[in-house]
Amino acid sequence: MTANPQFQYMTPQEYLEWEATQELRYEYIDGEVFAMTGGTKPHNRIAGNLYTSLDGFLTEKGCDIYIADVKVQIASLNSYHYPDIVVTCDSRDKESNEWVEYPCLIVEVLSPSTEAFDRGKKFTRYRQLSTLKEYVLIQSTEMSVDCFRLNEQGLWVYSSYTSGDTLTLESVGFSIPVEELYRQVTFEQEQ
């Protein structure tokens, strides 16, 4: 995500109307607009592998899964973000074809340019969503997954997964071997 200094402050409604006419995707945070950067083959493959594995499973549960091009609205913070994967099981999200407002699971595939924001300010914003139960960060440069789960006491609990582990997404009752997330992914060799 990169800032675009040519834009002046926009209201949420102005942003939604303007972005609908753009070729690129833009995130919106407190009146500022940020262009979304492109990803790599590993980034795309990882998101695709998880989406493919989850899609049929979630259909049977009455949940919807979206990849890359569907915004998450955080109304209380006047912001819209594009996670790599978002899952909602809330019927209120059927009212809009443009964004999800009540997700239970958000997944970001990390890249070196966005990792700090995804781990920090973006996660801080996502935690304002009352329905969010899990936030998953998947590395695209090595086999490593971080999962944050909201427990019954209202605390976010951290779990880490790597090769040989199975990632369990408790929010939707789904498990997947970490190796399956990285199926057909080739990492760049260090020089």
Instruction: Show the domains of the chain with their CATH numbers.
Output: 39-71+81-181 (3.90.1570.10)
In three-state secondary structure terms, 10 is coil
Q: What is the mean pLDDT of residues 66-87?
A: 94
35 pLDDT more than 90: no
Does the pLDDT of residue 6 top 80, yes or no? no
At residue 38 the predicted structure's pLDDT band, cuts being 50, 70 and 90, is confident
- What pLDDT sits at residue 1? 44
Whole-angstrom CA distances from 80 to 50, 73, 74, 117 are 23, 5, 6, 14
Could you give the percent of the chain with pLDDT greater than 70? 95
More confident residue, 65 or 37: 65
Distance CA 47, CA 86 (A): 11
> Residue 63: which of 89, 99, 85, 86 has the closest Cα?
89
pTM of the entire predicted model: 0.92
Output DSSP code: residue 131. Answer: T
